[in-house]
Chain A
Amino acid sequence: MSKGLFKISPGFEDVMPAEYKELVTNGPYGRDLGISDLGTFKELIEEHPLCAGCAEALALRLILASLPNPEDTVIVGSTGCSSLLFPQVAVQNIHSLFGNQNAVATGLKRALRLRFPDKVKDVAVIAGDGATVDIGLDMVMQSWFRRELITTIMLDNEVYANTGGQESGMSPQGAVLNMAPLGKKFPKVNLPEIAREAGCAYVATISPALPRRLGKVVRRAILVAREIGPSYVQIFCPCPTNFKWPSAQVLQKIRDRQKEGIFKVREYVSPEAEAYLARLEVVKQHDEEQ
């Protein structure tokens, strides 16, 4: 894509809203920025209508700051709280029907490869647990079986939050929710394991309570999906509104869950992906030394 997309036509600079001017002069496009640079550049997210303290919103902010190539990335989203947030994001994005995000991403990625054969175009699905593990599981898994070169990121808020609190495949066993008053009878679906078995070359679980690690994971997932195979990242970001936690306590709750061993940070890298990431690391070091 031409970086001209992010240049204002001469003469119209004055009429542009301030946030666009700032994105052009101080945004992350075409620069190699990451989570440790947060605070030094104009971020890709402009306000948002999600609940105060929403861990999903925090996760998305961190994901956006970690994209290796935001100007050439397309996000495919799906129905849920996160879809309310995408309109505030300055990355190309598509809203799919509930659950068919991986099918849409597949077509998009293939079309982009035909249309821009000489360019790297990253396609990342970012969707909630309802879209990924329940309604869309068929299409998610089929995209992995076909080894589509896309990254799937699940925002695991452990509930159908946007519709008032039904249990999802990712709600923990026993969870009592607005619309699951008797508590959930089954454990969380083990999607990371399924992803690995289904052919993902890179699988990781992480939470926004570990921001740097989250940045690294997202970056690795996107890089692996460029060359090696599909990748899957599961971000643990439970919903304070439906679990009825005070907004300010969300990160602490995530840390507690990690301490209790209920949520575990994990990473699986296939041997090919491992070799590829090591190669990139060598190139990066070489570039830095030059």
Chain B
Amino acid sequence: MAVGEYWVRPGPEGYLPPAAASMGVELPQRGEALVEGRVVPEEDAFRVIAEKLLTARNPVFFPGPKILWAWKDGAVEKARAVLKLMEAVGARAIPMPDYRPKYPMINPAVEINPNHPNLTIWHNRIDVGVFVGVHCHYANLALKIIRGGTDCYTIALCGEVGHEDAMITLRDVDAGKLERLTEVARALSAARSPQVQAPAAGAAG
């Protein structure tokens, strides 16, 4: 396939999928995001992410060390925003507390590890997985392995410039952006299931 025609879609893509960057997929600029390797305005990506998560059978967040540990100012705020988003889309979390390979003791039912993320994904039958708070090089490694060996749809909510190897990637993700994504998800969820909308303020029970 020619460089520039490459899509970043769920695998399995084989034992050694190419890094999306080597196939011509470029990282988004500020205000933009990547959806399956194509640059889109960030707002569009919010909607696609919300849609993917809300329609998933088993959406799972993989929070990494940068938000699991209260290691610096802002980490706890971001962690709270992630929890809110998870609640809004009905996702659960499998943590990635650190990156020790833990051969051969990894328990994929309990935690995910970038060196063998596919075990967790197979084991838990995850169709949509979200990486958040994972250091970039480990996210890159895990995202490529997942695409190589599973059909999980991956989303990276990246605090830096994003990940070409996720099917959807947002960049510069901070607590504010997570709040915005949660709003979009809530609105979409309400629109999708009007019968379960909260009663209007003042309405009698």
Contact = CB atoms under 8 A, between A and B. Distances in A.
B40 interface: no
Contacts of A47: 105
Contact of A15 (B72, B94, B100, B107): B94
A46 B72 CA distance: 26
B68 A10 contact: no
Contact of B111 (A6, A11, A17, A84): A17
A49 interface: yes
A87 interface: yes
Interface residues on A, range: 20 to 34
B67 interface: yes
Interface in B57-82: 63, 67-72, 75-76, 79-80
A84 B79 CA distance: 33
Given A9-B68, A12-B79, A20 B103 contact: no
Interface in B105-146: 105, 107, 110-111
Interface string A130-155: 00000000000000000000000000
A282 interface: no
A12 B63 contact: yes
B69 A9 contact: yes
Contacts of B17: none
B188 interface: no
A8 B100 contact: no
Nearest to B107: A17
For B69, B71, B104, B111, which residue has the most chain A Cβ atoms within 10 angstroms?
A: B69
Interface residues of B, number: 26
B76 to A, nearest CB: 5
Contacts, number: 66
B101 interface: yes
DSSP majority for the B interface?
loop
A4 B72 contact: yes
B11 interface: no
A182 interface: no
Interface string A64-95: 00000000000000000000100111000000
A249 interface: no
A16 interface: yes
Interface in B141-167: none
Contact of A16 (B76, B95, B102): B95
Given A12-B67, A17-B107, 20 more contacts: A2-B72, A7-B71, A8-B68, A9-B68, A9-B70, A9-B76, A10-B70, A11-B80, A11-B83, A12-B95, A15-B93, A16-B97, A17-B110, A49-B103, A49-B104, A84-B103, A87-B101, A87-B102, A87-B103, A88-B105
14 contacts: A5-B69, A7-B69, A9-B67, A10-B79, A12-B67, A12-B93, A16-B95, A16-B97, A17-B95, A17-B97, A17-B107, A49-B103, A87-B100, A87-B101
Interface of B: 63, 67-72, 75-76, 79-80, 83, 92-95, 97, 100-105, 107, 110-111
Interface of A: 2, 4-12, 15-17, 20, 46-47, 49, 84, 87-89
